[in-house]
Amino acid sequence: MAYYIDDYIRLCGMCSLDVGTVWNMHNFVIPSLEREAERYRECLAAKPDGDTSEGWSAIESDLNRLEQAIANGRKRCQREPRQQQLFAA
């Protein structure tokens, strides 16, 4: 996985949740991570049946990490405050 993706994943946990950062995450970072995850899925779709080499497991591991980072980013960068959602019912 590219070093900058690891950096984005680490930075997400330290985010200040200011408006500019959340906007950048929604409009640039998360879509970029989604495109990267799609590339990994395409690569895995080309995997020969029965091939269990370490390279494929590393790709699967990276894909799982990317998908988890995307899910965490979406959850953390919600456009509405969580309290509003709790009291909206």
Residue type at 86 in one-letter notation: L
Ranking 3-7, 34-38, 65-69, 76-80 by mean pLDDT, the lowest is 76-80
Total domains present in the chain:
1
- 87 within some domain: no
- 39 within some domain: yes
Residues 6+ apart with CB under 8 A from 76: 12, 15, 17
The reported pTM is 0.74
Ranking 5-9, 50-54, 70-74, 78-82 by mean pLDDT, the lowest is 78-82
- 68 within some domain: yes
Task: Quote the domain boundaries for residue 19.
Answer: 3-78
Between 82 and 1, residue with greater pLDDT: 1
89: confidence class by pLDDT, cuts 50, 70, 90: low
